[in-house]
Amino acid sequence: MLKYIGTIIVFLFVSLLYGTMVQEKKLGDLLPDADHIFIGHVIKVDMVDRKGHLITDNKARTGPGLKNTIRLHVKVKKVLHTTSKETPDIIIIKLWDMWHYSLGQIKRAAKNERAIYLLKGPNYEIVFPRHFTRPLHEKKAIIEYIDKKKSVK
């Protein structure tokens, strides 16, 4: 009987872990959803609670059951594509709040992060929980995609 209970506990634990895992997507799968593609770098990372109050504790976390959101403040350096009439100089990007991260972890990881950002909608939301930032060496492939999309219209 204990053997079965142990198996059930392990199964439940593994299920919870996979509950917040997100599938892999390649660049070509993300680009069609991107309304805004730009090169920029993170100038600030912060966290807010569900009421929009700023949280300054670097140990504060996000994840299932928590109502905190980590935000990247990104300075736009070069717009590669956008559906907006005007692009702000700084875009605030809300990260997916189902990831288990602390504010301090993201601050350390994103400090001056220079990348290509893939966002969607009028509020500049991430196109997908993973891989919405792309390394700069993918710029050529992204521009080729954008040019091909323009030529089809």
Inform me whether the pLDDT recorded for 16 exceeds 50. no
11 domain-assigned = no
The confidence band for 62, taking pLDDT boundaries of 50, 70 and 90, is very high
DSSP-derived letter for residue 61 is: B
14 domain-assigned = no
9 domain-assigned = no
* Number of domains the chain contains: 1
CATH number of the domain residue 45 falls in: 2.40.50.120
pLDDT at 12: 36
6 domain-assigned = no
| Domain encompassing residue 76 | 25-152
Cα 140 to its chain centre, rounded Å, is: 21
92 domain-assigned = yes
The confidence band for 22, taking pLDDT boundaries of 50, 70 and 90, is low
> 22-38 as b/e, with b when 16 or more CB fall inside 10 Å?
eeeeeeeebbeebbbbb
pTM of the model: 0.82
